[in-house]
Amino acid sequence: MNTNTSIKVMYLNPVGSSDESGDQIFADMAKAYKYPNSSIDIASLNPASVPPKITDLEFRTYESYIINDTVKAARYASIHDYDAMVIGCFYDPALDAAREISNNSVIVAPCQAAITTVLNMAHNFSIIIGEWTWENQMRRTIYDYGYADKLASFKAIGMRVEDFQKDPSATKELIKVAALEAVIEQMAESIILGCTMEVGFYQEVQSFLKGEGYNVPVIDASIVALKSAENAALLNKCCGWQNSRVWGMQPPPEQQLKDFDILQSDYKFGNIINIPPST
């Protein structure tokens, strides 16, 4: 698989389009970790339909505001030749619906990407979350994916999504404590950072655990989602492995979409930050 192949990926930040929504944080991550010939667009949702001041999807009430626009973004990705799109929230919101409408654009989400990646390196995982409120929805998602027996524990560190990047040093210390507890008390063989806004902390946490005598992979949900999207795009180009389009993956008929007058116009994003190929 040639990682110098040209590919185009959308990293969808599925919250508001305000300056506090994290677009630049994800853009910096993509610039640091993408393959050289990848073109990455960090996109946030239309402020006319998704309240631009929403900075998290911690509650199902907030998540309900972004489902329709996420599907529209997936449709846009399929029409505008994106090889893949990332839904940048660890709840994996609207994943099945987005995949259904995405034609040959692969749709990737952080929770599923993190789990499938880390299980190549460990038998189980613990997830570091901000608030205990998140556990119920994430546990249901993990069980639905079929990984109930691989989940060692959740560990909450008492932070809202918007707090993770306010004081990075304090955040890292809280994650370190929770990760060490998970490894020792629940015998976790790996750690997943269960929020895309925990981006940038994995290296120090991983080094800390190794220094304590526990050589444990720590998975950054934002990075692993981006890399999974890139790798899926490359596998399509080298092996022809595309989205299934039968049975549960069958898309709506195009004629019916026209008859219903839905998904007939281009979606308008709030912000788009492009990280071009670096070669």
pLDDT of residue 1: 73
pLDDT of residue 18: 61
N- to C-terminal Cα separation, the chain: 18
Encoding tokens for residue 21?
A: 């929504």
CATH of 111-221, one of 3.40.50.2300, 1.20.1050.10, 3.90.180.10, 3.40.50.12500: 3.40.50.12500
3-state DSSP: the chain helix, strand, coil percent, rounded to 5?
45, 15, 40
pLDDT of residue 157: 98
Domain definitions of the chain by residue range: 7-109+223-275, 111-221
pLDDT of residue 278: 87
pLDDT of residue 22: 85
pTM of the model: 0.96
- Mean pLDDT, the chain cut into blocks of 10 residues (279 residues total): 90 79 91 97 95 93 97 98 98 98 97 98 98 98 98 98 95 98 98 97 98 98 98 96 96 98 96 91
> Fold match between 7-109+223-275 and 111-221?
yes
Strand order in the sheet with 151-156: 151-156, 125-129, 191-193, 218-220
Residues 6+ apart with CB under 8 A from 98: 70, 71, 73, 74, 85, 87, 107
What top-level class would CATH report for the domain 7-109+223-275? Answer: alpha beta
Nearest in space to 242 (alpha carbons), one of 112, 105, 116: 105
